[in-house]
Amino acid sequence: MRTVIAGGHGQIALRLERLLAGRGDEVAGIIRKPEQAAALREAGAEPVVLDLEAASVDELAEVLRDADAVVFAAGAGPGSGVARKETVDRDAAVLLADAAERAGVRRYLMVSSMGADSDPRPGTDDTFAAYLKAKGAADAAVRHRTALDWTVLRPGLLTTDPGTGRVRLAASTGYGSVTRDDVAAVLAELLDTPSTAGLTLELIGGHTPVPVAVKDVAGN
């Protein structure tokens, strides 16, 4: 399998690249800065330098040629303002969907966020509220596409703790935290489980082994 990951230098993306490369898959990561390339090579991924805020659909579609799946794991990051939540977290995800359709790549995994469909909790700061709104809009833009076999994954609060390999994965899990290691493991398992297409899933830490958790939701 060849997978292209948008946001290839992100913390989840690098973990996923290591997993996929480690099992013998081909994996490419789209990055904005050339100096990020070394980290991708170390993870076993092919770095592709392309600014998703400036690229055209045709330019991105060329990168996706011969891919079996794409993963949107890009994000403007915690230090960015409201405007880049829209241009990266929303618009770049839509651009990837457009390019996947043009390149004929059906499988699309979206790394979203818990709460993306709901009103922000009281006290949520404006920037994070804008982030949730942008993620919700991106999810909606992908989920109506019949040319894509999409799965939207909405992790809870992300941590850098070591992965446990055990999670709770469901349409609704309630709020909780999950390690980035376990998010990457779930994404890898979703890539192997095409019957999860059409599902929007929340993810937090839990007690079910990742392969079993994905198998349990497949086709539901």
Query: What are the catalytic residues?
Result: 131
CA–CA gap between residue 48 and residue 55 (Å, rounded): 12
Cα torsion at 181, 93, 214, 184 (round to 10°)?
-10
What strands lie across the sheet with 208-209, from one edge to the other? 46-49, 26-31, 2-6, 69-72, 107-111, 149-155, 199-205, 166-170, 208-209
For the chain, how big is the Rg over CA atoms in Å? 16
Cα-based distances in Å from 97 to 27, 103, 146, 220: 18, 10, 11, 23
- Asked if 12 contacts 183 with a C-beta cutoff of 8 angstroms, the reply is yes
Give the number of other CB atoms < 10 A from CB of residue 36: 16
Q: Hey, what are 45's tokens?
A: 């991924």
CA–CA gap between residue 182 and residue 204 (Å, rounded): 9
